[in-house]
Structure 1
Amino acid sequence: MADFSDIYDQEQMKEHMQYVLKTDKASHAYIISGEDGSGKEFIARIFAKALQCSDRQEKDGEIEACDLCPSCIKAMSDNHPDIITITHDKPNSIGVDDIRLRLRDDVVIKPYESKYKIYIIPEGEKMTIAAQNALLKTLEEPPSYIIIIILTNNLNAFLPTIISRCIVLPTKPVRDEVIKKYLMENCRVVDYKAELSAAFARGNIGKALELSSNERFENLKNETIDLITKLENLEVHDIMDRVHGLLENPEADEKSTKKGIDIAQYEDFMDILLFFFRDMLVFKASDNVDHLIFTDKVSYISSVTNKCSYDDISSILDNIDIAKNRISSNVNIDLALELMLIGIKEHL
C-alpha cells in the first residue's frame, strides 16, 4: 500500500494530514472532494492507515505509517476491523438504511483494537437527503473515537449542515510534467504517449493512467485526426457517417449516451480536436515542435499552418467552443457537430 510520498501535488491536504499525525488532533469528519480519478480514496486510505499505525515513523520529513505493525498489515490487505468502508445496495444512491445500519448503529461499538474507528464513505454525493440527515445526527454528537471520511465529486450535493461539521480537503490538479514523469517512471509509458495522456487528463492522474493504457482512446485519437486530414474531400453525409462510427457505442446504456452518441467518446473527441488545432496555433506562432502535443503529426500540422492564417485557426477553435456550448445547452448533438465540422472544413 502507498504512503504520503506517493501523493502528488496535494501539498495543502498533505500538510493538514501531517499536522493531525504529529499532534494527534484529528477531526471527527472530513470531506475529500475532487473529480473521479483524482485519487480521493487512495489518499483517504493512506491517511487511515497512518492514523491507525502503532509505530509511525518519519521518512524524508513526513510522518508515515510503518507498514510493518499488525495494524498496517491489516490496512494494506483491506482487512482492518477499525477501517470500515460504507457500501450501498443501490448502485445510484446511498439510502438512509445504508447509513443507519453500517454507520450510525455501528459507532456505539468501540474500536476493536485501534485508537480510532474510521469510516470511509466513497461516492458520498449519492447520499439521499434522508441519509444525510441520519449521518448528521452522528456528526452532531460523535463518539470521541470515530473519524468519518466522506469522498465526493460534487460538494454541492451536501446539506450545508453536513459541510459545516466537516473539514473539507479539495484535491488539486496535478501538473502535467509530474503526471508525465509518473507515467514514464512507474508505468513504463513511452515519452510521447505519457505527454499526450498528461495533456488530456487535465491534472487528473487517474484519467492519465486510464488514457495511457486505453486502446479505445488511442484508436479514437488516430481516427479523429484521420478524419480531419481527409475533411476537405468528404461530403457532409460522409463526414457524419464517420463521426457516428467514431462516437457510437452499442454497449453503452441510455444514461451515458445522447442521440446514440457515447458521451465519454464525444468528450474525448472534442478534446482531441481542441488540442490538435491548438497545436497548429502554437506551431504557426513559433515554428517550433517543442511545445506540441501531437509531435507525430508535425508534417500535417506544418502543411495546414502554411496555407491557413491565424484567423482561420482561431475560427476553427471558436467553432469547437461554440459546438461544446450548444451541446451542453441541449442543442441537437448531430446538428451541432455537423455545423462545427462544416466550419472546420471551410477554414482548412
Structure 2
Amino acid sequence: MKSLRIPLHKVRNAYLLIGEEREQLYEAALRFAEELLQREGGEEEPLWKRLSYPSKEEWRESVRKRIRAGEHPDLFRLLPDKPEEHPKMISVDNIRRNLVDSVEIRPYEAEYKIYIIMDADKMNAQAQNALLKTLEEPPEYAVILLLSGGREAFLPTVLSRLIEFSGGERDARERFLSFYEEEWAKEFSDFLPGIKERAPSEILRFLKEHPEEKLPIRELFSFLEIILRDVLCYKSTKRRELLYAREISGTLIRMASDFDYSELGKITDELARDVRELSLNVNRELQLEQLLFSMGRREEGQPGSPGRTIW
C-alpha cells in the first residue's frame, strides 16, 4: 500500500481512510493526530506554557509518547464490539457510548478532540445513522477518522460527509494468495467446478455445512470478484499467465467454458450489488444462497429467487 498522508492546511471534521493494510492506515491516522494535538492555537500564551512544560520540545515529545501509548486525553480509538458479543460488528451502542455521548465535551488540553474508528466498515446501519447526526453538525474541535478496507459498506449519506483518502490496494494476486491460505477459500474453490450444473439441493447442502462462522461473506465476495475477473480474462484471451488465481486455473477454465459472456455479466452485476448492500441489515447467508442459485442449475418448476430479507 502506498504511503498515505492527510493534508494539514485545512482540517476537516471527518475523514475516510481507505486501504487494505490496517496497520498502515492506523499509522497514518496517528501521524495526523500527532500534528493536530501539537498545535498551539491562537492564545497569547503558548499551550506548552499553559500546561506548565519546561519547554516546547518536551511538551511535543510528551504529546507524541502519550499518543503512541494510547494515553492522550483528547485521542479516542473505537474498536468493534467485544468478540464474544458481536465479533464482526460495531454496534449503535458502541458508537453512542464511545463517541456521540462524549463528543460535545470540549478537549481536555489540546485544540482538537480526535476519534479513530478502527474497521469502520463493520458499523451496522444503525451505528452509521447514529454517527451521521454528529457528522451533520460536528463541534468545530472534533475530528473523526474512519479506517476501512473500502467504501462499499457505508451509507451514501455518511459518505457524503467524509473526505476520502486512499492508500491504494494490495495487488490482486497478493490478495488471492492471502485468501487461498484459508481453509474456507480452498473449500469454496473446490465447490465451484461444474457449479452451473449443480442443483439447488447441492448448493443448500454446501451452505448448511459452511455457515457464516466458517465462510466469511465479505471476504468470500472479494475472493469471488478475483475469480470472476479471471474467468472473463481467460475466456477472452486463453492466456493462463494473465490469471491472478493460477492455483485454481482448472476451475477458472471450466467456468470460462460453462458460462457465456451474458451469464458472467449478470453474475458479476449481482455480486457488485451484494457488495454494496453489505452496509444494510441484509441476511448475508441468504445473499450468498441467492448468488450461488443464480450460478447453478435451475430445476424444472423452481421459482425465481426470492426477494432479499432486510432485518
Is the pair's TM-score, using the shorter chain for normalization, greater than 0.5? yes
Among 259, 264, 268, the alignment partner of 1:321 is 268
Q: Find the aligned partners of 1:230 and 1:129 in 2 and give their Cα distance.
A: 45
Alignment of 1:1-348 (within 5 A): 8=2, 10=4, 14=6, 16-17=7-8, 20=9, 27=11, 29-34=12-17, 41-52=26-37, 69-85=61-77, 91-93=91-93, 94-95=95-96, 99=100, 102-107=102-107, 109=108, 111=109, 116-120=111-115, 122=117, 125=128, 127=130, 136=138, 138-139=139-140, 147-152=141-146, 154=154, 156-157=156-157, 163=161, 168-172=162-166, 174-177=168-171, 194-196=174-176, 212=178, 218-231=182-195, 234-246=198-210, 248-249=211-212, 264-265=216-217, 267-302=218-253, 308=257, 312-321=259-268, 323-324=270-271, 333=287, 334=289, 337-342=292-297
Unaligned runs of 5+ in 2: 40-56, 82-89, 121-126, 299-311
Task: Rate the CA distance shift 1:293–1:70 in 2: closer, same or farther, 3 A.
Answer: same
- CA RMSD, aligned part only? 4.7
Alpha-carbon contact 1:103-1:119 (below 8 Å) kept: no
Structure 1 residue aligned with 2:49: none
SS in 1 for 2:241: coil
SS in 1 for 2:229: helix
Q: Find the aligned partners of 2:129 and 2:78 in 1 and give their Cα distance.
A: 12
Cα shift at 1:170: 0.4
Alpha-carbon contact 2:16-2:163 (below 8 Å) kept: yes
Cα shift at 1:268: 4.0
Structure 1 residue aligned with 2:303: none
Cα shift at 1:78: 1.1
Structure 1 or 2: larger helix share?
1
Structure 2 residue aligned with 1:346: none
Bigger drift between 115-124 and 289-298 goes to 115-124
Q: Find the aligned partners of 2:97 and 2:203 in 1 and give their Cα distance.
A: 50
Cα shift at 1:227: 1.2
TM-score, structure 1 length as denominator?
0.53
The letter for the 1-side match of 2:105 is D
Using the aligned pairs only, state the percent identity: 13
The letter for the 2-side match of 1:276 is I
Unaligned runs of 5+ in 1: 1-6, 21-25, 55-64, 140-146, 181-191, 198-211, 253-261, 344-348
Alpha-carbon contact 1:125-1:158 (below 8 Å) kept: yes
Bigger drift between 70-79 and 45-54 goes to 45-54
Q: Find the aligned partners of 2:255 and 2:143 in 1 and give their Cα distance.
A: 51
SS in 1 for 2:73: coil
The letter for the 2-side match of 1:338 is F
Alpha-carbon contact 1:319-1:340 (below 8 Å) kept: no
Q: Find the aligned partners of 1:88 and 1:337 in 2 and give their Cα distance.
A: 29
Q: Find the aligned partners of 2:80 and 2:272 in 1 and give their Cα distance.
A: 35
Cα shift at 1:95: 3.9
TM-score, structure 2 length as denominator?
0.58
Cα shift at 1:316: 3.8
Cα shift at 1:322: 5.5
Task: Rate the CA distance shift 1:275–1:31 in 2: closer, same or farther, 3 A.
Answer: same
